[in-house]
Amino acid sequence: MRQKFNTFRLYIFYAVLLLVMSERTAGAVQADNKPTGLSVNFLSHPDMVFLDGYLVNTSLSEAVSGRENYQFAEIAQKKPFFGWIVNSDQNNTLQTAYQIIIASSLENIEKNNGDYWDSRKIESDQSVNVVYAGKALKPNSVYFWKVKTWDNHGIESGYSVISQFKTAAELVDYATARYPLQKQDQFPVTIHSFSKSETFIDFGKDAFGRLRLTLEGRNGNDTITVRLGESMKNGLIDRNPGGTIRYSSYKLILKGGWNTYVIAINPDKRNTGPRAVHLPDYIGEVTPFRYCEIDGYSDSLEKQQIIRETVFYPFDETESYFSSSDTVLNQVWDLCKYSMKATSFAGTFVDGDRERIAYEADALINQLGFYNVVRDYSIARSTHEYLINHPTWPTEWILQSVLLAWYDYLYTGNKESLSQFYKDLQAKTLSSLSDASGFISTRTGKVTPEVLSSIHLNDKLNDIVDWPQTGIVGEGKSEKGETDGFVFQNVNAVVNAYHYFALKVMSVIAGELGKKEDSGYYRNQAVKLKEAFNEKLIDKNRKIYTDGIGTNHASLHANMFPLAFGLASVKNIDEINKFICSRGMACSVYGSQFLLDAVYDCNNGEYGLQLLTSTAERSWYNMIRAGSTITMEAWDNKYKPNQDWNHAWGAAPANIIPRKLMGIEPIEPGFRRIRIKPQPAKLEQAEIKCPTIRGDVLVSFRNIPRKSFHLDVTIPGNSTADVWLPVYAHSQYVMMDGKKIRFLRNKNFAVIENVGSGNHSFEIY
């Protein structure tokens, strides 16, 4: 009897167990795992509605027919593409299927009636760049959509929240979507009165905007003076800051009683000229300023009376963070991340306030910075595509268009822009300028009108290397300018390093687009150039690169660019690295991007950290010390006579810290596969949140230099990662999630491949 009873209990136990397990397997629905981060043509919030730049509570469907001056994003592409973040409470999660529903009304979408597209269950792991396949969308219409997913654990998610988007008045085969510009009101951080009628106001940080004042007039004709500026001197706004550091003064006549006034900014002839990127009418003219002085107003002023209307491309500061045990590094991160937001004021990456012109070099550093601080790819793509047809004169920057296209694809996994501009990208490799060895030159008569037309350049083509090319002698330097004394020759090492990288990535681009013959051509050209470069530009005794054929001079630039672009022979890397370290920061703030890429790519994290945390004159800390809160155009005012204090090409650490120091980079397009390779050097602790198109990557470490290393990572769903850990001795072993594991050895790193999504911890002992 007892045996039968125990058998019955065992039967009940297994029945309950099977019931519980069935809820976690095929067919089980888990609402908590529903997709998030929905996007249409890269826009995560296409339903945002603005009124003269300010966010409002009006719905998109209401705004379309509203009488106010609303702004909102519009999708002009006939077949837009969709994306979402795959969520799971389990590790090692991969999407196996999805279902999208798109409807013409809220009522239909709530009833799961996809009257425009119901994809049904599609067996696919694709969670980004899913192309619309429903009925033809109508122009000037609002659509509602949602998605659910299935994963490799047999879990069916609940439906996502409902998102919506509006189509444009005219639909075309290809168009990049963009947000309107956004305004935000900011109050002063401090107000200080110097006398009864003189007040000094500090907003804490520099920003592009204008001033709004609420003041009381007594006589109906009282006049006050309002001054705006970026720089402070002796406790007041510097009225003669030099260069293009902004200062302006305005007279304001007060009407009787209480009134609100907007200080209308006087347009600058240069930055509102025909080549400049113009601001839309709903934004108005702006100027960068941190400080304000009000002279001639005798009443006391409260913060609520003084408002700075700032303008920027929509930017969510919470999408990324970084903190470490080094206080200088933290300040450098804050400076460079904020620079991404502040300098987006034109809705296109521009060169700061002096010209407001898009340049490829600025755009490249802006692009990588944006990718690593916010989950947005629209402003970078639209800037890149603008530059295709509005290029600038430097040879290297024409080549940078290919790099911009490559990074766009690497970070998004989306091929549509590559396909649309493929012929332009081919021209911008400048292969038409190459000789029998594969070298290109702008000095051998090959820059014909036909070549200039093919790259859309209405200007002369000239090599730049770095900028400014000449000027004051820098600290610790014997050469003038920022080119480290580069000797220009017909065959230029820097230009050809760029050409090599453009050929290499163009081969991949062609292959991804199914153009096998082109892919082979570019691959062969890259191989030929690499052989010639390492034969004719290497100083065989010193094992470093010279500036060009015909000179023995070897600059920092002639060596850091080949190293950054993968040109250097393995046998010479150590000597090139030593030479680079001997030159210090003998380049501009722009050049520092490639210097740091080169340093970290040859695993010299100690020197990389030294550069990032330097407090010398040629450092990011010097920008902070000088009083700038947006990165400068040059290391210090003395290095550039027309220096400005709002130039994002000085913000390389916004991408170097996530990509190289913390080591988070895509190794398959669209972050399908991620490399996490921190190089902590002497840094004892750091943590970062880095947004990607598939979700957030979180990395934190505790480091006892040359002894032990503890790493925690969070990998987004539908992704895998290769994790690299610093190893200091052959006797050390690796623990993953509390268990000792096998690993691959790559120089001074332990490599754990194909780590699945979710939370993982690693330890080196």
* CATH code assigned at 547: 1.50.10.10
- Between 73-82, 470-479, 507-516, 563-572, the lowest mean confidence (pLDDT) is in 470-479
Residue 189 and residue 300 share a domain: yes
Q: What is the pLDDT of residue 474?
A: 65
Query: Is 125 within a domain?
Result: yes
Residue 546 and residue 401 share a domain: yes
Residue 212 and residue 161 share a domain: no
Domain count, the chain: 4
Model confidence at 161, pLDDT cuts 50, 70, 90, reads: very high
Query: Contact, 498 vs 561, CB < 8 A?
Result: yes
Query: Contact, 285 vs 272, CB < 8 A?
Result: yes
Encoding tokens for residue 177? 């979507």
How far is 724 from 755, CA to CA, in rounded Å?
Answer: 11
Query: Contact, 398 vs 453, CB < 8 A?
Result: no
How far is 267 from 283, CA to CA, in rounded Å?
Answer: 13
Query: Is 7 within a domain?
Result: no
How far is 71 from 54, CA to CA, in rounded Å?
Answer: 9
* Mean pLDDT computed over 393-404: 98
Q: What is the pLDDT of residue 30?
A: 78
DSSP 97-146: EEEEEEESSHHHHHTT--SSEE---EE----SSEE--SSPPPTT-EEEEE
In the predicted model, is pLDDT for residue 724 greater than 60?
Answer: yes
> What are the two backbone dihedrals, phi and then psi, of residue 509, each rounded to the nearest 5 degrees?
-60, -45
Query: Is 13 within a domain?
Result: no
Q: Which of 629, 597, 635 is nearest to 468 (CA)?
A: 635
Q: Which of 126, 141, 172 is the last residue of a domain?
A: 172
Model confidence at 369, pLDDT cuts 50, 70, 90, reads: very high
Angle CA 350–493–620, to nearest 5: 45
Per-residue pLDDT of 456-499, as tens digits, reads 999 999 999 999 999 887 667 777 899 999 999 999 999 999 99
How far is 353 from 271, CA to CA, in rounded Å?
Answer: 7
* Mean pLDDT computed over 521-543: 98
* Mean pLDDT computed over 164-189: 98
Query: Contact, 104 vs 143, CB < 8 A?
Result: yes
Model confidence at 27, pLDDT cuts 50, 70, 90, reads: low
Query: Contact, 743 vs 734, CB < 8 A?
Result: yes
Residue 113 and residue 100 share a domain: yes
Q: What is the pLDDT of residue 1?
A: 47
Q: Which residues of 657-666 are buried (b: 16+ CB within 10 A; e: fewer)?
A: bbbbbbbbbb
In the predicted model, is pLDDT for residue 667 greater than 50?
Answer: yes
In the predicted model, is pLDDT for residue 24 greater than 50?
Answer: no
Percent of the chain at pLDDT exceeding 90? 92
Residue 620 and residue 519 share a domain: yes
Percent of the chain at pLDDT exceeding 70? 96
Q: Which residues of 359-396 are buried (b: 16+ CB within 10 A; e: fewer)?
A: bbbbbbbbbbbbbbbbbbbbbbbbbbbbbbebbbebbb
Encoding tokens for residue 65? 């027919």
Residue 518 and residue 488 share a domain: yes
Radius of gyration of the chain (CA): 28
Query: Is 10 within a domain?
Result: no
Residue 634 and residue 490 share a domain: yes
In the predicted model, is pLDDT for residue 202 greater than 60?
Answer: yes
Query: Contact, 328 vs 621, CB < 8 A?
Result: yes
Query: Is 406 within a domain?
Result: yes
Residue 308 and residue 364 share a domain: no
Residue 256 and residue 276 share a domain: yes
Q: What is the pLDDT of residue 473?
A: 73
Which residues make beta-bridge pairs with 259?
215
Q: Which domain holds residue 425?
A: 317-661
In the predicted model, is pLDDT for residue 620 greater than 80?
Answer: yes
Q: What is the pLDDT of residue 475?
A: 60
In the predicted model, is pLDDT for residue 398 greater than 80?
Answer: yes
How far is 701 from 688, CA to CA, in rounded Å?
Answer: 9
In the predicted model, is pLDDT for residue 8 greater than 70?
Answer: no
In the predicted model, is pLDDT for residue 5 greater than 70?
Answer: no
Query: Contact, 411 vs 403, CB < 8 A?
Result: no
What residue ranges in 188-334 does DSSP mark as E strands?
190-195, 198-217, 222-229, 232-233, 236-237, 247-254, 257-262, 287-295, 306-312, 321-324
In the predicted model, is pLDDT for residue 66 greater than 90?
Answer: no
Q: Which of 653, 674, 654, 651 is nearest to 664 (CA)?
A: 674
In the predicted model, is pLDDT for residue 4 greater than 50?
Answer: no
Residue 220 and residue 188 share a domain: yes
Per-residue pLDDT of 401-445, as tens digits, reads 999 999 999 999 999 999 999 999 999 999 999 999 999 999 999
Encoding tokens for residue 258? 């209480």
Which residues make beta-bridge pairs with 291?
202, 229
* Mean pLDDT computed over 594-612: 98
Residue 57 and residue 155 share a domain: yes
Q: Which of 312, 337, 365 is the last residue of a domain?
A: 312
In the predicted model, is pLDDT for residue 553 greater than 60?
Answer: yes
Burial class (CB in 10 A: 0-12, 13-18, 19+), 454: middle
* CATH code assigned at 748: 2.60.420.10
Model confidence at 706, pLDDT cuts 50, 70, 90, reads: confident
Query: Contact, 387 vs 404, CB < 8 A?
Result: yes
The DSSP code for 511 is H
> What are the two backbone dihedrals, phi and then psi, of residue 163, each rounded to the nearest 5 degrees?
-115, 165
* Mean pLDDT computed over 51-76: 95
Q: How far is CA 259 from the centre of its chain?
A: 41
How far is 398 from 459, CA to CA, in rounded Å?
Answer: 12
Q: What is the mean pLDDT of the chain?
A: 95
Q: Which of 285, 312, 339 is the last residue of a domain?
A: 312
Residue 645 and residue 519 share a domain: yes
Q: Which of 559, 556, 535 is nearest to 545 (CA)?
A: 559
